[in-house]
Chain A
Amino acid sequence: MASRDVVAYKTPLSRIWNIFTVVFIAFYLLWTLLPLMIMFFSSFKDLLAAFQLPPVGAFSKIGLFFDFTPTTKHYYNLFVNLGFSTYFANSIISAGGSAIISVVLGSMCAYALSRYEFRGKPDLFFWIISTRMAPVVAVLVPLYAIFRGADLIGTKAGLILAFTTFNLPFAIWILKGFFDNVPYAIEEASMVDGSTRFQAFRAILPLVAPGIGAFVILCILFAWNDFLFSSIIGSGGAKTLPPATVQLVQPQNIQWGSIMAAGVVTTLPMMFLGLLIRRYLVTGLTMGAVRE
């Protein structure tokens, strides 16, 4: 808000600027919303209606987009015939499970890393974060071998662990930043009052709780939106929403209506969650480098 009252002079230039900004924002708004809107409306369209386009150049007939009888049959089809309730549950369980495990293990590790100085700490820290940077395609085959060896392929437990491979390093990295900001004096005080070291750790948890909550959600978001792991590791028994949606592209007909409906079902909850943690989003998506 630093610069708000600074730009106060009304010059012709600033007026043009103002008009320009309004136009730009309007365009960007349209650019952002149009694909989402088309997805949303198409999910209520019958296949033939979804394929209706006005003649090229006929902007006056753009209303054709809204010219359809809404049908909820695609949603019905998804949940009743195509087993999407199972996939939805799989998504919730595996994304949620991995988020919780990541944040629990992650906060313990991050706390220790924050409080404990030892030789090689920067290297250890870098190693932790590098496990998240690894291109998924590059490590998928050996990971599959490990998971197969542990009989985890096609199970929700396996998928939870698979998501943890990218969520845990993320959680450690971010939460360390949070603990770094909590003065050691608080633990000292608590220990002086006679609590154990572990109780002292628990005592400072409320201070970082909002952050932790936000990162649980962010971990859910990453896991929920994952495609490669869930299609290879979760194959069969633990299919989540993104691979289930992609599978609606079938050899003899692409079920666009159902795909759009599945897109809505997959995306809406995440948008809602995104709203909830809006404040922590920058921090999370920049791995803690930027605070808002």
Chain B
Amino acid sequence: MVSTGSGNAVSTAHDGERYVEGARVIEHMPASLNAVPPSRYYLWLMAPALIVLAAISIYPFFWLIWMSLQNVGAGPEVEFVGLKNFIKLWSDDKFWMGWILLFKYSFFCMFFEITIGVFLAVVLNGHRFENILITIFLMPMMMAPAIAGLVWYYLFNSTFGWYHWLFQSLGILGETSIIGSTETAMAGIVMVDIWQWTPLITLITLAGMKRVPRDQLEANMVDGASAIRNFIAITLPNIYPFLLIAIMLRFMDNFRFIDVIMRLTGGGPAEVTKVLPVYLFDVSFVYFKLGRGSAIALTLLIVTIIFGKLLVKVFESPASKRIDQGN
């Protein structure tokens, strides 16, 4: 993709200048300035970034494909097995369970973050202390997920955790900690995600709400519509594309990061929080079954890319064009 000129960087700069000199010569013909500039200049500008990206993405991708066709045993021997790893995945309960749990986890995170986050935005919008409050609310987002996992582990601990004490005192939980029961462990990891990422939804929603056409709101107010109806009828449709983007971003992050789960439950108890990336981690880094791991990784990668495609579609949809125009 990069022109394979034999020259080095120095001669390139020189090349670039020559074009520019060319442009200067025809200075008195402004129309020609609108012509598409010579492509080579732009290619050189793009080249460094593209080379770095290619090196770190193309090789791993093909490595994954190649590895997924191998059987990597306990010893150094590697054996070509064709599609056997994928066929085995079909009957691998933990693989399917991993997907189900991943979607379940993401769904719960989304549901609560959107509900709380949007509501918080409604409450904060135009509030006297809006700025200072939102700034405070943003703080959890700045914390490294691995650290957040540790801190919440400390809070949830049944021996010395203040949150456990609180839950117990309020009668929400018994002596079993939230991450020690198969019924509540998922709620535990979801809680941490809510704590960290609800403010992002609030922030996005607020950005959207600032752009709700004022005349519409006023018209409705005169009609005496309640704040809630007002919100559903006018604000929600306006911020809908924003929310869609937020959902997809959070969804993909749940695919990417497992720091909190690793610190809090490690996939337990009884595998109720073993979402697919955690299972993949086990296969690749605990069992060293790199063939099977690569097959799982590929499925994860493909689903992520599909999501990415959808996301970009939303970015470019007419609805979200409004987002930029409102700027």
Contacts and interface: CB of A to CB of B under 8 A. Distances in A.
Given A139-B60, A225-B144, A1 B155 contact: no
B232 interface: no
Contacts of A53: 160-162, 165
A224 B144 contact: yes
B57 interface: yes
Interface stretch (B89-97, B103-111, B177-185, B213-221): B213-221
Interface residues of A, number: 113
A29 B138 CA distance: 11
Nearest to B18: A196
B20 interface: yes
Given A164-B52, A275-B135, A286-B246, A59 B151 contact: no
A213 B155 CA distance: 36
Given A39-B151, A274-B138, A290 B245 contact: yes
Contacts of A287: 249
Interface string B31-55: 0010011010111011011101101
A86 interface: no
A128 B51 CA distance: 11
Contact of B46 (A109, A259, A275): A109
A290 B63 contact: no
A85 interface: no
A107 to B, nearest CB: 9
B33 A109 contact: no
A243 interface: yes
A155 interface: no
Interface in B288-327: 290, 293-294, 296-298, 300-301, 304-305, 307-309, 312, 314-315, 320, 323-324, 326-327
A137 B259 CA distance: 11
Contacts of B300: 135, 137-138
A142 B64 contact: yes
Query: DSSP majority for the A interface?
Result: helix
A286 B249 contact: yes
B86 interface: no
A95 to B, nearest CB: 11
A169 B53 contact: yes
Contact of B143 (A42, A111, A192, A270): A270
A207 interface: no
A116 B151 contact: no
A115 B49 CA distance: 16
Interface stretch (B3-11, B75-83, B276-284): B276-284
A6 B146 CA distance: 44
A227 B146 contact: yes
B126 A1 contact: yes
B99 interface: no
B140 A35 contact: yes
Contact of A3 (B199, B217, B307): B217
A285 to B, nearest CB: 6
Interface in A250-270: 256, 259-260, 262-263, 266-267, 270
A56 B169 CA distance: 5
Nearest to B200: A285
Contacts of A6: 214, 217-218, 221
B19 interface: yes
A174 to B, nearest CB: 12
Interface string B174-195: 0000000000000000000001
A278 interface: yes
Nearest to A221: B142
A194 B53 contact: no
Contacts of B204: 282, 286, 290
B141 interface: yes
Contacts of B17: 196, 198
Interface string A7-27: 100000110010001001100
A137 B277 contact: yes
B300 to A, nearest CB: 5
A135 B255 contact: yes
A186 interface: no
Contacts of B309: 126
B154 A136 contact: no
B139 interface: yes
Contacts of B88: none
Nearest to A36: B139
Nearest to B309: A126
B267 interface: no
A225 B42 CA distance: 33
B63 A142 contact: yes
User: Which one of A3, A14, A242 has the greatest number of beta carbons of chain B within 10 Å?
Assistant: A3
Interface of A: 1-4, 6-7, 13-14, 17, 21, 24-25, 28-29, 31-33, 35-36, 38-39, 42, 50-54, 56-59, 65, 105-106, 108-109, 111-113, 115-118, 124, 126-131, 133-143, 145-146, 161, 164-165, 168-169, 172, 181, 188, 191-192, 194-198, 201, 221, 224-228, 241-243, 245-246, 249, 256, 259-260, 262-263, 266-267, 270-271, 273-275, 278, 281-282, 285-287, 289-292
16 contacts: A1-B126, A2-B217, A28-B137, A35-B151, A50-B160, A65-B162, A135-B300, A169-B53, A197-B41, A198-B20, A225-B143, A256-B154, A259-B150, A270-B142, A273-B142, A290-B242
Given A13-B226, A39-B154, A282-B203, 6 more contacts: A24-B120, A51-B160, A56-B169, A164-B56, A172-B49, A181-B327
